[in-house]
Amino acid sequence: MSSTRRKLLDLIVDPDAAYAIDAAELEPLQLQAAQELFEIRRRQIPLLERRAAGAGINSIRSFEDLVPLLFAHTVYKSYPASFVEQGRWDRLLQWLDTLSVPGGAQVDITGVKDIDEWIERLWLAGRRVLATSGTSGKCSFLNQTDADFELKKRHFRHTVGWPLVRADGDHIFFWLGPIKGPNSAVEAAQIGAQNWARAGEVHALSDEPLKISEVSRMAALRKRIATGEASPGEIAQLESVAKEKGQRQHAALTALIDRILDYREQPIYVSGMWAQYMMLISRARERGIQDGEFHPQSVVFAGGGVKGIALPPDYQEQVQRFFGDIVRPGAYGMTELMNLMPRCEAGRYHRPPGLITLVLDRTGERLLSAADASGGLAEGRFGFLDLGFEGRWGGLISGDKVSIDFAARCACGRPGPTLLDNITRWAQTGEDDHIGCAGTIDNYIRGAVGE
């Protein structure tokens, strides 16, 4: 790793200082680090070299130079579905190699039976591939190294909770989801447990490993149902599986909720979804537990989990009243991001030194600037270059719609620019997300893997 990259990434060990660096000091260092990283990665990752050659970019002199080098977020699920459906594991590995830094031991895929075993073989070879949930019908696969995991764990230790609280290893840890499996949310839970949990006090919804094959199969079937392609038998199967799984998860969640309530007078760390917290409130009322009975040093993260679920309009306010005067930090991140952005006291997301934030127009082809702003604010597509990864190129165009404030100072007093806490998606589930470079990238990858 280059000295400039290392310097920027190491700054996070003192987050108060890291988030106080003015743009005039930070951005030249970020450009230098981007150039150093680009020189290395273009020789290692075929797709990046192709993007650079096509755009005529040989060096990074400005943030605008980075835009044509970013990968569309869909690239990490751009493999032909037949590779998984037909068990063409060698071709799937070839696809992954067009997007990744070579390294680790040779991957032995002899006798692989399903996608879970394919991922397991990669992990055995030192490639910690993470899979997304596959809500679109296909999972994304992102390569990372053991060193990437350790760096991410360090970043989370110094950022998650900042500026309100720091990880202390002395909380009773609750994660309202599965805590095993090669999934980014699961990894975040594992990191959270290592950073925050008191010894012997890690509690999760399930210790059963998350099976990517099951997640992918169910997502693909839901997509077929939405398009009218699924047979009555397939629909009945999905309903049966969903009912049985729902019953098991409801029982597990009820038991976990009771444990959270039992520990309410001690410092807890709990992360879950809004709908789960509404169940927690309902159970608390059954037990005669009122609002505000939690230890003031408890840390609670909430979000998501409302799609297709009927919740009262004031569900967020109800959850806040129920937990009372506890610590409620926030952060903006995603599967593809190591250097997540914490939320300050003024409700804005701040960039860490190791993350180059690039807010683009909707097509992902042009970098927005203060000249595009109205009243200091501009709406665009979130892109970035995460300087932390060794296993892949960290440049990405996401599917997120963000509002950026180009002001030199945030209301909290720290330097800008910052992102507002109103992030949504450009496309809803099932809709196509049109990014200008996506088609070109997909065509190259299909050619590279012979499809």
pTM for this model (two decimals):
0.90
Whether 195 shows a pLDDT value over 90: the answer reads yes
66-77: string of b/e by CB count within 10 Å (b at 16+)?
bbbbbbbbbbbb
Based on the fold, state whether residues 294 and 369 are members of the same structural domain: no
Neighbours of 290 (CB within 10 A): 10
Task: Give the residue with greater pLDDT, 285 vs 450.
Answer: 285
Task: Give the residue with greater pLDDT, 431 vs 385.
Answer: 385
The pLDDT, as a whole number, for residue 431 is 57
Domain assignment of residue 80, yes or no: no
* Domain end among 280, 309, 328: 328
The pLDDT, as a whole number, for residue 288 is 97
Domain assignment of residue 42, yes or no: yes
The pLDDT, as a whole number, for residue 187 is 95
Question: Range of 274's domain?
Answer: 165-328
Weakest mean pLDDT among 8-12, 312-316, 414-418: 312-316
Based on the fold, state whether residues 222 and 271 are members of the same structural domain: yes
Weakest mean pLDDT among 157-166, 375-384, 422-431: 422-431
Which of helix, strand or coil describes residue 154?
Answer: helix
Which of 147, 145, 135 lies closest to 212, judged by CA? 135
Confidence band, pLDDT 50/70/90 cuts, at residue 58:
very high
Based on the fold, state whether residues 388 and 299 are members of the same structural domain: no
pLDDT digits (tens, 9 = 90+) for 103-143: 777 899 999 999 999 999 999 999 999 998 665 668 899 99
Based on the fold, state whether residues 322 and 353 are members of the same structural domain: no
| Separation between Cα atoms, residue 268 and residue 262, nearest integer Å | 11
Q: Is 255 exposed, middle or buried, given 0-12, 13-18 or 19+ CB atoms closer than 10 A?
A: exposed
Domain assignment of residue 264, yes or no: yes
Q: At what angle do helices 23-44 and 46-55 cross, to 10 degrees?
A: 110
Could you tell me the two tokens for 254?
């009820």
Whether 403 shows a pLDDT value over 60: the answer reads yes
CB under 8 Å, gap of 24 or more: what pairs does 44-52 form?
44/101, 44/102, 45/98, 45/99, 45/100, 45/101, 45/392, 45/393, 46/98, 46/448, 47/71, 47/75, 47/98, 47/99, 47/393, 47/441, 47/444, 47/445, 47/448, 48/393, 48/395, 50/444, 51/437, 51/441
Based on the fold, state whether residues 355 and 424 are members of the same structural domain: yes
What is the number of domains present in the chain? 2
Confidence band, pLDDT 50/70/90 cuts, at residue 412:
very high
Mean pLDDT of the region 356-364: 96
Domain assignment of residue 285, yes or no: yes
Mean pLDDT of the region 305-333: 89
Based on the fold, state whether residues 309 and 358 are members of the same structural domain: no
The pLDDT, as a whole number, for residue 306 is 59
Q: Say which residues have a Cβ less than 8 Å from residue 235's Cβ, sequence separation at least 6.
A: 225
| Separation between Cα atoms, residue 390 and residue 2, nearest integer Å | 11
Q: Say which residues have a Cβ less than 8 Å from residue 28's Cβ, sequence separation at least 6.
A: none
The pLDDT, as a whole number, for residue 242 is 67
Weakest mean pLDDT among 195-199, 313-317, 434-438: 434-438
Domain assignment of residue 87, yes or no: no
Weakest mean pLDDT among 246-250, 417-421, 435-439: 435-439
The pLDDT, as a whole number, for residue 437 is 72
Based on the fold, state whether residues 314 and 252 are members of the same structural domain: yes
pLDDT digits (tens, 9 = 90+) for 218-240: 767 777 777 788 788 777 777 77
Based on the fold, state whether residues 176 and 236 are members of the same structural domain: yes
Domain assignment of residue 83, yes or no: no
Which of helix, strand or coil describes residue 107?
Answer: coil
Which of helix, strand or coil describes residue 449?
Answer: coil
Give backbone dihedrals phi and psi of 235, rounded to 5 degrees, phi first: -65, -45
The pLDDT, as a whole number, for residue 357 is 98
Instruction: Compute the mean pLDDT over every residue in the chain, rounded to the nearest whole number.
Output: 91
Domain assignment of residue 376, yes or no: yes
The pLDDT, as a whole number, for residue 371 is 95
CA Rg value for the chain: 22
The pLDDT, as a whole number, for residue 228 is 82
Domain assignment of residue 116, yes or no: no
46 contacts 448 by C-beta, under 8 angstroms:
yes
382 contacts 402 by C-beta, under 8 angstroms:
yes
Based on the fold, state whether residues 319 and 412 are members of the same structural domain: no
Based on the fold, state whether residues 309 and 346 are members of the same structural domain: no
201 contacts 172 by C-beta, under 8 angstroms:
yes
Torsion of CA 287, 292, 295, 296, to 10 degrees: 170
The pLDDT, as a whole number, for residue 438 is 67
* Domain end among 328, 351, 366: 328
The pLDDT, as a whole number, for residue 433 is 67
The pLDDT, as a whole number, for residue 250 is 83
Based on the fold, state whether residues 172 and 315 are members of the same structural domain: yes
* Domain end among 299, 328, 357: 328
Based on the fold, state whether residues 307 and 352 are members of the same structural domain: no
